[in-house]
Amino acid sequence: MAGIVNTTQDVLVQIDSLLAEYDTLEQAGKLVRHSADENSVRRLATRMQAAVQRLAPRDSVYAREAHGIRPLSPRLELPRLNDLLLAMKEDIQAGWLTTVVELVHADTHKDYLDMAEELLKKKYKDAAAVIAGSSLEVHIRALCIKHGVPISVAGKPKKADTMNADLKKALVYGGLEQKQITSWLALRNSAAHGQYSDYVESDVRQLIDGIQAFAIKYPA
């Protein structure tokens, strides 16, 4: 997954940082036509455009608007990008973030599973198992974040098995799902540690299909 956007605070911090840079340039008079600091203006325009494209769903008005901006003249386009980020910030604060997070995560999750699918088609069952297992771990972590379950303890990231147990305790899903995830993680660990005889190609097929169905039933 580029990095996954995890919380409202994560997104707002990114947006506020860019908005603050814009205010600094504006107050310093660097947005006027004959200012010599063209590089700072161009860099900020590029970063603002990238932020909208990174944080907004692909088919949203925000993404389309950002895609249509061609900062050939950054001083003209920068105010437009600034207004776009301000509008995004207002929608996020109004509760639109859940859609952003789930769509970004879904894209990343799909990328992993697509890779695993392609590897399995080419008979690379072991690599496919590792990639699919990585997708599962990313999804489990995202579920924890969504439901307020801590993903670290004493400053150290929790293992997938621990997060799985914590999600069951938090009633995000039940005992059957927990056991199934434990089994999937065990298969991924076998692949990652070279224990290739512990499973066969059909097991990896079931792994990919199962993770896909689980992610649809329990979206993060």
Q: Provide the whole-model pTM.
A: 0.53
Tens of pLDDT, residues 109-163: 567 788 889 899 999 999 999 989 988 988 898 898 888 899 888 878 889 999 9
Please give the helix or strand (H or E) that residue 46 lies within, else none. helix 38-55
Answer yes or no: is pLDDT of 43 > 80. Answer: yes
Q: What counts of helices (H) and strands (E) characterise the chain? A: 9, 2
Closest CA to 142 of 220, 26, 38, 90: 220
Q: Please say whether the dihedral angle defined by the alpha carbons of residues 151, 154, 155 and 158, taken in this order, is positive or negative.
A: negative
> Please, are residues 140 and 162 in contact by the beta-carbon 8 Å criterion?
no
Spatial separation of the C-alpha atoms in residues 33 and 63, rounded to whole Å? 27
CA-CA distance, 30 to 40, in Å (whole number)?
A: 9
Domain residue extents for the chain: 8-94, 123-217
Q: What phi and psi values does residue 144 have, to the nearest 5 degrees?
A: -60, -45
